[in-house]
Amino acid sequence: MAFQEIALNMGPQHPSTHGVLRLKLNVDNEVVRSLEPVIGYLHRGMEKLWESQTYVQIIPLTDRLDYLAALSNNLAYVLAVEKLMGLEIPKRAQYLRVILVELQRLASHLAWLGFMANDVGAMTVLLYSFEDREEILDIFEAYVGARLTVHGMRIGGVPFDLDDPVIGMIRKALDDIPKRIADIEKLLNDNRIWLHRTQGVGAISRDDALAFGLTGPALRATGVAWDIRRDIPYSSYEDFEFDVPVRRNGDVNDRYLVRMEEIRQSLRIVRQALDRLPAGEHLVKVPRVLKIPPGEVFHTIEAPKGELGFYIKSNGTDKPERVKMKSPSFINLQSLERMSKGDLFSDVVGILGSLDIVLGEIDK
Amino acid sequence: MPEEWIDAPALKAVAGSLAARFGEAILETTFEKKELAVRVRAEDVLPVLGHLKSELGFNALDDMIGLDRFPPPGDERKRFAVLYQLYKFPEALRVRVAVDVGEGEAIPSIVGLYRSADWAEREIFDMFGLRFLGHPDLRRIYLPDEFAGHPLRKDFPLEG
Amino acid sequence: MKSLQEIFQKVFLLDILQGLLVTLKHYFSPKVTIQYPEKVKEPAARFRGLLRLFRDERGEPLCIACKSCQRICPTHCFDIEGARPEGSKVLKPTKFDWTLDRCSFCGLCTEVCPTFAIRFSREFRMSLLGKGPLLFHLEDMYTEGEALQDRLCGGCLK
Amino acid sequence: MTGLTLLFDVLIPGLKIGAVILYPMVMVIVLIWMERRVVAFIQGRIGPNRVGFQGLLQPIADATKLFFKEDIIPRQADQFFFNLAPVLVMVSSLLAFSFIPLGEPFEIKGYAIELWIAQSPVGLLLVLGLSSIGVFGIIFGGWASNSKYPLMGALRAVVQILSYEIPLGMTALTVVFFSRSMDLVAIVNNQKDARVWFGFLLPASFLVFWISGIAETNRAPFDLPEAESELVAGYHTEYSGMKFAFFYIAEYAHMVLVSSLVVILFFGGWLPPFPNVKALAFLHALPGFAWYLIKIMFFLYLYIWIRGTLPRYRFDVLIKLVWKWLVPLSVLNFVIVALAWYLL
């Protein structure tokens, strides 16, 4: 007797939907026949709100988009505004931004690692990776003053200069993190259960990944060596040496391996930036009431989740005419159905985890 | 018409190819802040994007952006615009195609060309109320189905 | 073709044992938990806690009621009015309402303040029982430490 | 009837029955506390340490809270089976404890006091049978909730527990080869006579039995029926209050039961290590019950340690593991042991 297909609502209240996401599933026993993400539970109308805020006031609001990588959002927005103004940023400020954003990438990847492993059932990894993340958040607290919604970029640079105690904290973190990462890799990399849960699960081909517009680690896991930091350098990324990790299979395990390698590369970039930190200003003065002549601009950066972009259209006043955000999680979530159709119900959780979505960024 | 003041040779070639192929359909070509933007007629959006994708290799759709110019700026330009931000791997080229849409008008959907346009078109429908012909499943994406109005329109009331 | 090592690893559960050793190592490692009410992790010097107003060394308020903070605040937390007392060159605040529940601790107000009158304290304890204490008036903006806690959480059973 | 016989014939058995109900409960409380503390230590945390000495009373506080919580029965649920399920789960795991020998018998004034309630020639079968009745509770609970996640959890539980019964039984049988008895007391005594614990004679049996035992109790990495990141809480999603506590306690009691079985079958029950070696006679200074406790504590710790380390299996891999690996392995093991027994 064939098992009747049942409709299953996963979320909006469910332990592993990373926020308030609802997945409408049709399952045949355990096999997923169809899947539809339902989003909008966290929709705050950010884009509408931005139209009534000044350019400076928008920055703290971008913290609330991808709340696990607030500084990356700050940077993407601030760079877009600076491009619109034609503002040149001092070299030291650019390096400080790189340090902040790479630390943020570490924090975001570490949070992802913990949640992903927890979704697959390895709950201890969450606590180990959060120990590392805590160290980075302490750095943010000491440097900028907040841990999660950091608000650590200003139009024209970064709000504070980097002082020696914070440099010491960063150097200590750079030494500590690889040790604990090695422990986590010992727990997961060879583990047969982890491999069962990740290898060949949620695979997507290179062509599909491009068609769906996947970006970031999810795209690199399919074999496309695409990293905006390297290919369209911004904020002095061309000064640093780093590798762009690429894997071929496009499955959950490859996404995991790509991100683990990115953690190492980020550590490398931070180390280089600290060693070569140029002297100079950390913030250039911009007029207090910032009026930007009419124009439009689209600027993207490589955020931890993928390609994060801001389209800004100005109209000559101190408020933008329109700000549109291209959020990587929104794009990546769209391909969830392709990845998980025909897989088991348990795998949907793992695939969702491996995509590293944040609902604050999807719903805007 | 290829513009002489485009100082990026690759983008200049793109603009030239579009002008040669479509001529009249290209209403405007601008190059500002190192970004190439072309404005085309709404009925030509599919051929233009198809040409950009298959001939010129713009293989990814970065983003779709809806704009509301309220009140409508004049007779020539319509109230709404949809911008297609295209992207070329691995040369790192970007081009922005703009289409003007009037109140109550519909434009062709590009889901057949770029799969990732699916949710982006739904978002624009949700926020601006623009219809996309041929979209497989044009529903609201963020707001509940019974919601009245389209919040990113400039005349949407800000206070209840 | 699986290598001999892989087969060895599979048969003798080496991958599992390796994981068990890692967790055993952590079992005997020092713990990171901080037992909160007894031990408090001091916030960093730049920590953005509750906003406070400050006075100069003679006890005069630094605030000149210029309303810069009110204008830049993205969430419109402030409601400020000032008046010029007899014989004074600058304004003094007569009303300084700060709505804590609207504040997003972004720090823009402290950056625009020309006299550094409004600054962040490192106070992070903000648990309260009602919405009343969320509205700060002028005199409340100068309280600090335990007095601030008494004001915030009047219902606490100490 | 003298007072003494009354004491030994009526009061002592009565006390023993009380003790056998109390003993799993105390173990469960210790185990819940231990689990939370050990997992916390593994993860670099401290865990509950406020209620009582080092948080030892935390499980009691939790139970008190659950006891006073509202008892919610979903409107669409089948009332009878919904109420029956937790009772069934609880009773089946407690009842099995009456056959578990906790220590060696001792004498007071000529009366032998045995540390078990019932001794049966087929004790092993009875314990295995009783503990599998619990699966009915899980089915009833999942089905009667009339909700999708519990139903899926119950389906998983049935398939998983029924599959893992087979290697469990097959490996237990190899022990019976050596002991020539299914009586749990006799099995322990046989290990004394054999001068060696069966676990060292039959390492493969022990390993398969232990893995299947973890799967039987729905513990990580085989905790699919209640996998929280997928099925919310599996078959007891809709339960609250005391009924939820019943499921919770039963699961932990089941863990104690399986650990006891492993200790009795493979590690000599209440016997100290090398019970026949003269030089180690001082080990007998500790009573048998203490040795038994030390041993099951080790296995309970192992449970928690494994939970703190491994990810969760997926359903198809879980079933593949039992039918492609454990069942053939246990059959092969059975044949080899049988041949060895026959030839030697």
The verdict on residue B141 lying in a domain is no
CA–CA gap between residue D312 and residue A122 (Å, rounded)? 7
Phi, psi (5° rounding) for residue B78? -85, 180
Summarize pLDDT for A80-116 with one digit per residue, the tens.
998 888 888 888 888 999 999 999 999 999 999 988 8
Instruction: Please name the chains neighbouring B, where neighbouring means 3+ C-beta pairs under 8 angstroms.
Output: A
Arithmetic mean of pLDDT over chain D: 83
Looking at the domain assignment, is residue A271 inside a domain?
yes
Whether omega before A12 lies within 30 degrees of 0, making that bond cis, reads yes
Is residue D334 over pLDDT 60? yes
> B115 lies in a domain?
no
Closest CA to C93 of C119, C111, C75, C117: C117
Residue C37 lies in a domain: no
Same domain, residue pair C77 and C9: no
The closest CB to that of C19, out of D44, D46, D310, belongs to D310
Tell me what the mean pLDDT of segment A5-14 comes to: 82
* Per-residue pLDDT tens digits for B86-111: 888 777 888 888 888 888 788 888 88
Cβ neighbours of residue C4 under 8 Å, at least 6 residues apart?
Answer: none
Region A306-321 average pLDDT: 88
Please, which chains are in contact with C (at least 3 CB pairs closer than 8 A)? A, D
pLDDT for residue A3: 58
Residue C120: HSE in the Cβ half-sphere, 13 Å Cα cutoff: 22
Query: What separation in angstroms does the CA of B110 have from each of A298, B49, B122, B135?
Result: 21, 8, 12, 8
Residues of D with CB under 8 A from a CB of C: 38, 41-46, 305-306, 308-310
- The secondary structure of residue A2, as a DSSP letter, is P
For residue B25, give the CATH number of its domain. Answer: 3.30.460.80
Count: domains in chain B: 1
pLDDT for residue C2: 64
Instruction: Give per-residue pLDDT as tens, A119-138.
Output: 888 888 888 899 889 999 99
For D342, counting Cβ atoms within 10 Å of its Cβ (0-12 exposed, 13-18 middle, 19+ buried), the class is: exposed
Distance in angstroms (rounded) separating the CA atoms of residues D218 and D208: 16
Token code pair at residue D290: 């203490």
Encode pLDDT of B45-68 as tens digits. Answer: 888 888 888 888 888 888 888 888
Query: Whole-angstrom Cα distance, residue B137 to residue A331?
Result: 17
Residue D217 is predicted with a pLDDT of 85
Q: Is residue B111 domain-resident?
A: no
Q: What percent of chain D has pLDDT over 90?
A: 0
Check D311 against A197: CB less than 8 A apart.
Answer: yes
Residue of A nearest to B88 (CA): A210
Instruction: Decide if A251 touches D, using CB distance below 8 A.
Output: no
Q: Is residue A216 part of a domain?
A: yes
Question: In this structure, is residue B29 part of a structural domain?
Answer: yes
Q: Which residues of B touch A297 (CB under 8 A)?
A: 33, 35
Residues 35-64 of C with CB under 8 A from A: 43-48
Task: Say if C41 falls within a structural domain.
Answer: no
pLDDT of residue B1: 42
Instruction: Take residue D38 and report the two structure tokens written for it.
Output: 């050990």
C87: in domain: yes
Q: Domain of C61: which CATH number?
A: 3.30.70.3270
Q: Using one digit for the tens of pLDDT, what is the confidence trace for C50-85?
A: 888 888 888 778 888 888 888 888 888 888 888 888
pLDDT score of B159 more than 80: no
User: How far, in Å, CA of D264 to CA of D253, rounded?
Assistant: 16
d(CA D183, CA D188): 9
Please give the backbone phi and psi of residue D78, each rounded to the nearest 5 degrees, phi first: -80, 105
Provide φ and ψ at C104, rounded to 5°: -110, 10
Q: Which residues, in sequence order, are CB contacts of D195 under 8 Å at separation 6+?
A: D274, D275, D276
Among A119-123, A150-154, B122-126, D195-199, the least confident range: D195-199
Where in the sequence is the domain holding B56, given as residue range(s)?
Answer: 9-106
Same domain, C105 and C27: no
- Does this complex have an ipTM over 0.95? no
**pLDDT higher than threshold 70 for residue D36:** yes
Q: Which of B32, B92, B127 sits opposite A231 (nearest CB)?
A: B92
For residue A2, the model assigns a pLDDT of 52
Which residue has 């905006």 as its token pair?
Answer: A228
What SS3 class is residue A313? strand
**pLDDT at residue D292 is higher than 80:** yes
Residue A198 has which token pair?
A: 């990740």
Average pLDDT over residues D236-264: 87
Computed over every residue of chain A, the mean pLDDT equals: 87
Which class for B128: exposed (0-12), middle (13-18), buried (19 or more C-beta within 10 A)? buried
Q: With an 8 Å Cβ cutoff, is D229 touching chain A?
A: yes
pLDDT at A358 over 80: yes
Q: Find the CB nearest D310 among C16, C32, C35.
A: C16
Domain CATH for A340? 1.10.645.10
Q: What is the pLDDT of residue A258?
A: 92
Q: Looking at the domain assignment, is residue A233 inside a domain?
A: yes
Compare CB distances from A349 to D45, D148, D229 and report the shortest one's residue.
Answer: D229
CA distances from D19 to D23, D107, D116 (A): 6, 18, 10
| D163-220 per-position pLDDT tens digit | 888 898 888 888 888 788 888 888 888 877 777 787 777 888 888 888 888 888 888 7
Task: Give pLDDT tens digits for B11-48.
Answer: 777 777 777 777 777 777 777 777 888 888 878 888 88
Encode A185-196: b = buried (16+ Cβ within 10 Å), e = exposed. Answer: ebbbbbbbbbbb
Q: Is A126 on the interface with C (CB under 8 A)?
A: no
Query: For chain A, what is the domain count?
Result: 1
| Predicted TM-score (pTM) of this structure | 0.87
Whether the Cβ atoms of residue D98 and residue D184 lie closer than 8 Å to each other:
no
Q: Side-chain half-sphere of A93: how many Cα atoms within 13 Å?
A: 21
More confident residue, C156 or D223: D223
pLDDT band at C107 (very low <50, low <70, confident <90, very high): confident
Distance CA D307, CA D304 (A): 5
Q: Using a CB-CB distance cutoff of 8 angstroms, which residues of chain D are in contact with residue A347? A: 314
Determine contact, residues A178/A267, Cβ cutoff 8 Å.
yes
Tell me the residue range of the domain where C105 lies.
51-152
Query: A109 lies in which domain range?
Result: 42-363
The reply to whether C62 and C134 lie within a common domain is yes
**Assigned domain for A111 exists:** yes
pLDDT, one tens digit per residue, over D126-138 is 888 888 888 888 8
Tokens of A271: 């180390």
The answer to whether residues A92 and A282 touch, using CB atoms and an 8 Å cutoff, is yes
> Does A354 map to a domain?
yes
The answer to whether A88 contacts chain B (CB < 8 Å) is no
How far is the CA of C145 from the CAs of A71, B154, C52, in angstroms?
A: 31, 47, 11
Q: What residues have CB less than 8 Å from A33, skipping those under 6 apart? A: A5, A26, A27, A341, A342
Q: Do C15 and A190 touch (CB under 8 A)?
A: yes
* Domain range annotation of chain D: 69-343
B90: preceding bond cis by omega (within 30 degrees): yes
Which pLDDT band, with edges at 50, 70 and 90, does C10 fall under?
A: confident
A194, closest residue in chain D (CA to CA): D311
| A343 touches D at CB < 8 Å | no
For chain C, the first-to-last Cα distance in angstroms comes to 70
The CA-CA-CA angle for residues D29, D165, D145, to 5°, reads: 65
Distance, in Å, from the CA atom of D70 to the CA atom of B80, rounded to the nearest integer, reads: 56
Q: What is the mean pLDDT of residues A177-189?
A: 87
- What is the predicted pLDDT for the residue at A1? 42
Instruction: Report the 3 state secondary structure along chain D.
Output: CCHHHHHHHHHHHHHHHHHHHHHHHHHHHHHHHHHHHHHHHHCCCCCCCCCCHHHCCHHHHHHHHHHCCCCCCCCCCCHHHHHHHHHHHHHHHHHHHHHCCCCCCEEECCEEECCCCCCCCCHHHHHHHHHHHHHHHHHHHHHHCCCHHHHHHHHHHHHHHHHHHHHHHHHHHHHHHHHCCCCHHHHHHHHHHCCCCHHHHCHHHHHHHHHHHHHHCCCCCCCHHHCHHHHCCHHHCCCCHHHHHHHHHHHHHHHHHHHHHHHHHHCCCCCCCCCCCHHHHHHHHCCHHHHHHHHHHHHHHHHHHHHHHCCCCCHHHHHHHHHHHHHHHHHHHHHHHHHHHHHC
With touching defined as 3+ CB pairs under 8 A, do chains D and C touch?
A: yes
CB pair distance less than 8 Å for A142 and C104? no
| Yes or no, beta carbons of A15 and D317 under 8 Å apart | no
Q: Rounded CA gap, C65 and C79, in Å?
A: 10
